[in-house]
Amino acid sequence: MEPLSERIGLFGGSFNPPHVAHVLAVHYALSVWPLDRILVVPNFQHPFGKELANFDHRFEMTRLAFRHLGPNVEISAVERDLGEVSYTIDTVRELKRRYADTQFRLIVGSDILDEVDRWKDADQLAQLAPRIVLPRLIAGQEPIGYFLPAISSTEIREGLTTGKDLTAMVPRDVLAYIDKHKLYRG
């Protein structure tokens, strides 16, 4: 059996907006897992109808947030290409079509493990893109060893409307982009 040409981690989310914990998650995955690169995949439309900033703004903010990690991290517009709502399995099937000889791994936070088995075609998703689980602190949980900070995009959007100092939570280029385009101001 011939080895697969490339090992790619898939890190999806709404990135509404992207924050430091997203960046740390990707950096951590690249550092400890045998991955050649990571595709960061912003949702085009949220499957549960969650209100999102315009895709082009979220895509650009995501590009800005991760650009310092270099060529091993690529921001993918695959969900925009698919159009409308795209479930994770649909995205993975499309990426398998585009990159036939690639081994994919789905990067998820430990905080959503209870949900993943209820996702559309969860069994096939686990076969096409086995999970890499990153430890994430959940409110009220005692930290054990390494964990990603408990930062949420919801908290950031709320902080933007109240004037909270977010410099420790959002990459500076993303904050500058948000200010320039007056995003999340209500």
Give the model confidence (pLDDT) of 108-137 as tens digits: 988 888 888 899 999 999 999 999 998 876
Does residue 29 sit within a domain?
Answer: yes
Mean pLDDT of the chain, nearest integer: 91
Mean pLDDT of 139-152: 70
* pLDDT tens, position by position, 53-79: 999 999 999 999 999 999 999 999 999
- Between these two residues, 177 and 146, which has the higher pLDDT value? 177
User: Which residue type is seen at 167?
Assistant: T
**Number of C-beta neighbours around residue 135 at 10 A:** 16
Report the predicted TM-score, pTM, of the whole model to 2 decimal places.
0.88
pLDDT at residue 143 greater than cutoff 90: no
Residue of 66, 46, 41, 53 lying closest to 129 (CA atoms): 41
Helices and strands (H and E) in the chain: how many:
8, 5
Does residue 76 sit within a domain?
Answer: yes
Give the whole-angstrom CA distance, residue 53 versus residue 11: 19
Mean pLDDT of 77-84: 94
Torsion of CA 88, 64, 111, 133, to 10 degrees: 70
Does residue 1 sit within a domain?
Answer: no
pLDDT at residue 148 greater than cutoff 90: no
pLDDT at residue 170 greater than cutoff 70: yes
pLDDT given at position 46: 81
Asked whether the CA dihedral 30, 31, 32, 35 is positive or negative, the reply is positive
Give the whole-angstrom CA distance, residue 165 versus residue 134: 27
Does residue 186 sit within a domain?
Answer: no
- The CA-to-CA distance between both ends of the chain, in Å, stands at 55
Give the whole-angstrom CA distance, residue 71 versus residue 60: 16
Q: Write out the residue range of the structural domain in which residue 147 sits.
A: 6-181
For the record, the structure tokens of 178 come out as 């948000």
The total number of structural domains in the chain stands at 1
Does residue 92 sit within a domain?
Answer: yes
Q: How do strand 131-134 and strand 73-75 relate by DSSP bridges?
A: unpaired
Does residue 86 sit within a domain?
Answer: yes
Q: What is the CATH number of the domain that holds 156?
A: 3.40.50.620
- Between these two residues, 1 and 113, which has the higher pLDDT value? 113
pLDDT given at position 131: 96
Distance of CA 162 to the CA centre of its chain: 25
